[in-house]
Structure 1
Amino acid sequence: MLTTTVCVALSAAGLAVALLTAYRKRFLAATRIAALALIPVGLAMAGLADLAGDVAAATADWAAGLVLKPSVWAGFAVLAVSAVLLVVTRIVGRRRGSSRAERRAASGGERRGAVAPGASTPSLGPGRPPGREEPSGKSGKSGKSGKRGGGDTGLEDFEDIEAILKKHGI
């Protein structure tokens, strides 16, 4: 009951200020003040003012319990230990990760990538055995013979591109 009385009094005071503002011919400001003045009585009529009081009281009880109970502080200590353990395991895992990968590579347990560990150029897959002819579509392109050495080096494509660039004067 007291909350409703306070809210009505606040709204009445706000509406009085709005009337004085309107008397000075500042109607836009008076309308804003009137809108704000109606908020407390609206909250009281909807029951939200009592709810806000209950929330404030519950928050105060929680804060008092937080400060005064040792079990709450012990709970925060357990949470802190948990966070520290998670951070430490991440750091140790990152440091061990590189040595573990190196051990797997040395033992052959890791899948081979495109580049062999000691290779200077990337592997382009299995090469053709010496003396084997290239498919007919590629042999007439650059005027080279159809026979190749151990594997395709990829230089044939670059020679074609270089010839086109020279043709255009680039």
Structure 2
Amino acid sequence: MLAETVCSAVSAAGLGIAAITAYRKRFLAATRIAAYSLVPVGLVMTGVVQWVSGIVFKPSVWLGFGLLGVAWLLFMTTRAVERRTGGTRKERRAAAAAQRDAVAPAASAPSLGGGRAPAAQPAAQPAAKAKAQPAPAEDFSDIEAILKKHGI
């Protein structure tokens, strides 16, 4: 009964403010205020206010909301911990295994070649030249170490 009286008083006050606003020739705002002020009376007439007031004054309902809050807090805490630690143990093991196993192990070796050998060179000279030159993988070892460090 008290809730219905309060809602009726709020609606009457809202309609009064809407009338003053309309008197000041702000009809669009007055219409909007009148619409908002009719909502509490509509809620009283549909029975929503009685239903809500019945829920609000029951201790079991408040305990239920408290349990929902605790459940939400537990979910959020586990998500925060999971993000901080990097996921579950299975996910970490799978990520570590994926880093160890390269998709194409030979693809990480640089594919730099000497290009075409001139036709006038004898066959023995390229073999001696290959021994004299350092391996292409040695040239890029520092770059390869950086890429491995970043997991690429």
- Kindly name which structure, 1 or 2, has the bigger radius of gyration based on alpha carbons: 1
Normalized against structure 1, the TM-score is what? Answer: 0.43
Higher RCO (CA < 8 A, seq sep 6+): 2
Normalized against structure 2, the TM-score is what? Answer: 0.47
* Larger fraction in helix: 2
